[in-house]
Structure 1
């Protein structure tokens, strides 16, 4: 598998307990550290696909980062270019812009700083205080999108 195609599938606990619990709370209006339910149209089926994500607010902008790599939501968002972020009954329609690897460096550092306990294991041993070159080296493994207004 090429580096750019890397994806680390969630284990049983994450799939069966953690993600459903976070999604349930978020769907009912309780955002945990910025959690949202991301809804994106499937690139083949056109059906809505949902997954819990962490919305990072950094330097006056908002980002979605995939700590596990190039999963289905990433592929769907690339194809659709737009989606919805949901918390309870609030739905925000957005468009996205994928970041270049160089643009990802400060965003990945901020993401790792905020969610190190939850997502640190997926960053190849890189810590928030690592140098830019370490983040640049892992950037291809972690797609990141800027969340933009839909208008």
Structure 2
């Protein structure tokens, strides 16, 4: 796992806050969901907004900005809470191995490039398999199990 982290600027943090508020209220915008995870140091539950990706009947979440706090917390906790607050569910997660990420990342970038461009390791919908494989170790991908 490479330690890349593209820290969001003030505008991105504001937009993320708005989309998280909507997701917490049960309003999904282009596949967004509320995700909450217990902090590995503080023990406090923290929330983020993610894009829930379903491939071959299995659900995945991607941390396009890299090794973010929520990704590190999820890795340590082994489970996350997903969905709006009044009907959330706890789900176990398993990190996807680097060699299994390229197909998932290709799907993710094609689906949400308009939203994640500029902070998904330089990938575009036209990225080659070699380019995706080169960046894959720096992008955490988790399967919900």
- Same fold per TM (> 0.5)? yes
Aligned counterparts of 1:102 and 1:26: Cα–Cα separation in 2: 31
Map 1:1-151 → 2, pairs under 5 A: 4-16=2-14, 18-87=15-84, 89-148=86-145
Aligned counterparts of 1:57 and 1:87: Cα–Cα separation in 2: 18
- What is the Cα-based RMSD across aligned positions, in Å? 1.4
Q: Could you tell me which runs of 5 or more consecutive residues in structure 2 were left unpaired when the two chains were aligned.
A: none
CA deviation map 1:105-131 (0-9, x unaligned): 111011101110110212343222332
Aligned counterparts of 2:78 and 2:121: Cα–Cα separation in 1: 28
TM-fit CA distance, 1:46: 1.3
Spell out structure 1 runs of 4+ moving beyond 6 A. none
CA deviation map 1:25-81 (0-9, x unaligned): 111110111111111111011111111111111121111101000010011001000
TM-fit CA distance, 1:88: 5.3
SS in 2 for 1:112: helix
Contact residue 2 and residue 138 of structure 2 kept, 8 A: yes
Contact residue 64 and residue 121 of structure 2 kept, 8 A: no
**Total equivalences in the alignment:** 145
SS in 1 for 2:20: helix
